[in-house]
Structure formats: structure tokens, C-alpha cells
Amino acid sequence: MAREIQTGVGIDVGSNFTRCVICVVEDGYQRLVGYADAPSNGWSRGRISDPEAVSASIQKAIENAELRAQLLVDTATVGVGGSTISSGNSRGLYEFGRPREIEGRDLHYAVQLSTEVQLEHDRFLLQAAPQDFTVDGRAGLRSPQRMIGSRLEAHTHIITTSAQEHDTLVDAVNRAHLNVEETVFEGMAASYAAVLENERQRGVAVADIGAHSTELVLYAGDALVWSSSIPVGGDHFTRDIAAKFRIPFDDAELLKREYGCARLGLSADNALIEIPSCEGRPARETVRWDLTDVLDARAEDLFKVIKGEVGKAGMEQDLVEGIVLCGGGALLYGMEDMAEFVLNCNCRKGPPKDMDGLPDDLNRADWATAFGLAMYSAKLKTRPEFRRKAPGFLGLVLK
């Protein structure tokens, strides 16, 4: 009897592109077998405006990835991000009544208690990431299993999103003939692929710069200590160019990709570049400095906001591993230099790690989230307690 193939499928449904990655799990290891992207339609300002169009984009990406993988899939893990994301820290207290040995199920129950918070109307609990535990007043314990105590307290980072937006996204995936096994905050998914465990332990930030928003996560001691969604993304850079030079959005995007730089002084700023004009009018010329100046200002603003979030988390001196940039917005030349200038720490772009033999077109920061989702999907299926439930359940405690 043929052995059932275990697959990990991740779908990064972006405003500009939908990306799908398919991995197979062999002897506990993940191997890439299929991938594809498709232009996204049906989005407006980072929110779904036409579920049918979004579903068509998902279906096209899935079908092309299945064709490359030579297998069919029926479930996937899907990323969630954008302006509806909200987060905060919570605590759950579990009192035993008498001193006894703490078991694994006690830790799970304490975490579950920490998630039982009163959510606002239309809020959906997306993730709950345990940070540490306190046993009888002794704080900062990562895994107090088998310790003796009578009072266990769990500290948990909680991420919520709009229930309506979440259900709309899940419905769009279902229309593409896929079941959603889990939904994951895109910043967490990107970090899952782009940073290693020892980097999370020492302190690292991951910024997933999408089209309309930037999903930020901060790790220290291997715990998720902070997350946020910043309403600035790659399209804001493009809009700035379009406004500055009075050109259409598509022309501005091409100009950004061909000549764009996020830091003054890194490119040949005195070189002349051609600015497209409306039909029937000759093209204009300007120095490249004018373009870089626009992008420099927007990039500095973005990283100042990120710096503010780092300050809120109290991690200004704790980013030992610096910041890792993922997403399509990270591809802009000079973003690493601007990040280092503003945040005063090292910076690198985040192509997927721990996966050998990636083609060159996948070894890029804009594929990190899709890979992280596929790796997350595969990890779910290797856990002995895996059962297919409503999206949002297993992601509460999976690292």
C-alpha cells in the first residue's frame, strides 16, 4: 500500500501577488516540490473588495504550483495581515490549590486561560504566542514543566484581527477548492522562514514590507515579545513618486524598480533619468537625486515608525541580531542601509533559510512569507496532536 504523502502548503495572498509554496515532508525534513505566483486582483487599500477575483488569483497560483509539484493538494495555511491586525500582552493564572508537580497540560491550560480575554466586537483571535511563565512568584521561566508549585501564571502575546475580514479571506480560499487548515499572522510566518532559533533567542526584529502594510515582529529569548501592523508599504513609495513627477501609478512603479534607491548617496545621484510623460508629450529628464530624495524620505519615515515600536517593546538595546527585511518592499535598493541608519543595528534581507537548493528566483525576500506558511503547515502535520479544526486553534501555541 502506497504511503500517503504529507504536504505543507502555504499561500501568501498579497495585494499585488499571490504566492503559493508546496513542500513534502520526508523523514522529518521538508523539501520544496512546487511553487508559483499569480497577479492579485480584488483588493482595495489592503482589503478584499472582490472575493471572486481574489479566489481566481489563489486558484491560478495553486494550479501552477500543483503542476510543478506533480501532485494535488486540498488544504493550506494562509497568511493574514494588514490594517485590521491588533496585538497586546495577556496573562492567565492557574492556581492548583496545593503544591504539586507541573505537567505539560498545565502549561497548555494556563496559556488557554490567558487567551480568554474580552475581545471587541468583530475581533478574531488569530495567534497566542506564549512568552514565559511564573511559578509561585518566580518569573521568567520558559518551560517550568516538572517543577513543584501551587500557582502557575502564563504570559502570552495575543494577536487579533477583524473576524469579518478573516472570514472573507477564508471564504475566498474555499472558493478556490481548498480547505484552510490554519491562518497565521504574516509577520510570524516570515520570521518562521527567514530567521533561525538562535537568532530569535538573542533578539531580532522581522519586518515584512508588503504592498499596503508592514508586519513587524520582535523576538527575544525565543519568545514573541511584540508585534504590530504598520500602515505603510511598498505602494506608498510608488504613490510618492507618482505625485512628485505627476505620472501614472504603473509608470511610477517601473521607475522605482529600475532606478529607485532608498538612501541618498548610494547611487549615481547626478545621473540623468527619463521620466515618462502622458501620451503625445515627449519624455522628460531629471537627475536621479530627485527620485532618490522621494524614496529616502518615505523609507526614513517607515523605519522611524519601526523604531518607535521597538521602543514600546523596550528592545532598543536588545536587537543583537538586528532586523531582517522581508516582503516585496524589501527589494528596493538601499532599504538595508536606511534601516541600519535609523535603527542603529545591523540589517539583512530575509530569503528563506534551512531549505537547500532554492532556485534563484525564490531565494528572495518577497518569498519568505509563503515559505514560512508552507513550513508552518508542514510542522502542524508532524505534531502528534494534529487534528483538523477551525482556523486559529493550533496556531495558539505552535512555535
CATH of the domain at 134: 3.30.1490.110
Domain ranges, residue 139 = 86-159
**200 shares its domain with 332:** yes
Tell me whether residue 308 is in a domain: yes
**Burial class of residue 95, CB neighbours in 10 A (0-12, 13-18, 19+):** exposed
pLDDT, position 372:
94
Which grid coordinates are listed for 295? 524614496
Helical (H) or strand (E) element with 78 = strand 75-80
Q: Which of 34, 85, 38 lies closest to 374 in space, CA to CA? A: 34
What pLDDT, on the 0 to 100 scale, is given for residue 127?
Answer: 93
| Domain-located, residue 138 | yes
Q: Are strands 47-48 and 75-80 parallel, antiparallel or unpaired?
A: unpaired
Answer yes or no: is 39 within a domain.
Answer: no
* Alpha helices by DSSP H, the chain: 51-69, 104-115, 163-175, 186-194, 197-202, 234-245, 249-259, 288-312, 335-343, 368-382
- Both 139 and 255 in one domain: the answer is no
In a domain, 8, yes or no: no
Q: At what angle do helices 234-245 and 249-259 cross, to 10 degrees?
A: 110
**Which among 329, 349, 369 is the end of a domain?**
349
- Render each residue's pLDDT in the chain as its tens digit; 399 residues: 345 678 899 999 998 999 999 998 887 778 889 999 999 999 988 889 999 999 999 999 999 999 999 999 999 999 999 989 999 999 999 999 899 999 999 999 999 999 988 888 889 999 999 999 999 999 999 889 999 999 999 999 999 999 999 999 999 999 999 999 999 999 999 999 999 989 999 999 999 999 999 999 999 988 999 999 999 999 999 999 999 999 999 999 999 999 999 999 998 888 899 888 776 677 788 899 999 999 999 999 999 999 999 999 999 999 999 999 999 999 999 999 999 999 999 999 988 776 655 777 788 999 999 999 999 998 887 765 444 343 443 343 444
Whether 214 and 288 map to the same domain: the answer is yes
27's torsion region: left (phi>0), alpha (psi -120 to 50) or beta?
Answer: left
Task: Say whether both 131 and 276 belong to one domain.
Answer: no
Cα torsion angle, 146, 144, 159, 378, sign: negative
Q: What are phi and psi of 350, to 5 degrees?
A: -115, 70
Same structural domain, 229 and 299: yes
| Neighbouring C-beta atoms of residue 42, cutoff 10 Å | 19
Do 154 and 200 fall into the same domain? no
Q: Does 380 fall in a domain?
A: no
